[in-house]
Amino acid sequence: PESVCSSAAKDSKYITAMRETGWEYDETKFGPDPTYADLYDGSYGPTNSVLAVAEDPLALLFYFMPPKLWAQIAVESNTYHRQSIPQRARAIRAQQRKGGGKVEDLGDIRRCLDGVEDIEAYEVLRVMALLIARMLAPIRKGIAAHWSVAKVGAMPANRFGLFMSKNR
């Protein structure tokens, strides 16, 4: 069933009238007012500790993404990888069956997935650096273009390959 909010949003005359006359929250149509009065009334703004590193972009990055966090992300990523091996192996085999090519044994696929090396904490920082590089020199052809052997856009050829292999 269509909600009252959805039907009101689709009514162009209703929206035009609201644009000209304004609106008030109608509790009869939309239920109790969802404003969050007194949710937080303490001090706000940047803390002294973040202001101390605010002038240095690298220090700011390490402030919000300290090495302890890299280690925790690596641990959780490795845990997720191990826990999802059976499900991913079944999905890979289903994809192989669908493709009509050679279908590997489920145990072989699991062993292959299990053989992937654990993510190290420094690799998390490396991924962050690559994401920042992608932000500064975007390649709209997709992430695989970062491993291109030909120069694409402002990014020199095969920069990512120096830091992270494509089939990690």
pLDDT digits (tens, 9 = 90+) for 48-61: 999 999 999 889 98
Average pLDDT rounded to a whole number, residues 56-73: 93
Residue 152's pLDDT is 56
**7 in a structural domain:** no
**What range does the domain containing 132 cover?**
121-167
**113 in a structural domain:** no
Residue 168 has pLDDT above 70, yes or no: no
**73 in a structural domain:** no
**111 in a structural domain:** no
**140 in a structural domain:** yes
- Say how far apart CA 91 and CA 103 lie, in whole Å: 12
**154 in a structural domain:** yes
Number of domains composing the chain: 1
Residue 36 has pLDDT above 90, yes or no: no
- Ranges 24-28, 91-95, 144-148, 164-168: which has the least confidence: 164-168
Residue 28's pLDDT is 81
Q: Which residues contact 31 (CB under 8 A, 6 or more apart)?
A: none
Residue 26's pLDDT is 77
- Say how far apart CA 140 and CA 113 lie, in whole Å: 30
Cα angle 3, 38, 29; round to 5: 20
Residue 165's pLDDT is 61
Residue 127 has pLDDT above 80, yes or no: yes
pTM score above 0.75? no
**146 in a structural domain:** yes
- Ranges 24-28, 69-73, 163-167: which has the least confidence: 163-167
Burial class (CB in 10 A: 0-12, 13-18, 19+), 70: buried
Beta bridge partners of 152: 155
**109 in a structural domain:** no
Give the type of residue at 12: S
Residue 22's pLDDT is 80
Residue 93's pLDDT is 94
Q: Please say whether the beta carbons of 146 and 132 come within 8 A.
A: no
Residue 11's pLDDT is 85
